[in-house]
Amino acid sequence: MQLPDDLRYSTDHEWVRLEDGRFRLGITDYAQDALGDVVFVEIPEVGSEFTASAKVSEVESTKSVSDIYAPVAGRVVEVNAELADAPERLNDDPYGDGWICIIEPTNPSDLDSLLDVDSYRRLIEGT
């Protein structure tokens, strides 16, 4: 299972990558594996504003439908529109082509409340 150490993780299995003061958002390898084959991704609208822990998106797989939550508060400034036609990218490349959106944070220090790679590893391993 992939766990890049340059990311921050939520307890809901989302990841964020800091890029020029903005946060790229996706779901973890652990989450995509638990979901199974992804068949649909609800793409958030550019300009949408969210509080931390608010629903940003929805992912439908062959097993279930799962909500994706904003790990930080902010406004969506870019979306991965390619997921509409290729939702399987969440399975194939969750930390690359499978990103969901880019959020301009309301409070950049929200990043400090997220888990580092070691803390996230302990969470998913149940230790």
* pLDDT score for 19: 94
* pLDDT score for 2: 87
Compute the half-sphere exposure of residue 72: CA atoms within 13 Å on the CB side of its CA: 30
Residue type (1 letter), 126 = G
**Regions in the chain scoring below 70 on pLDDT:** 127
Name the residue among 31, 33, 55, 56 with its Cα closest to residue 46.
Answer: 56
CATH entry 2.40.50.100 includes domain 8-107 = yes
d(CA 50, CA 89): 24
* pLDDT score for 17: 96
* pLDDT score for 127: 64
CB atoms within 10 A of CB 64: 10
Which tokens is 93 given? Answer: 């490349």
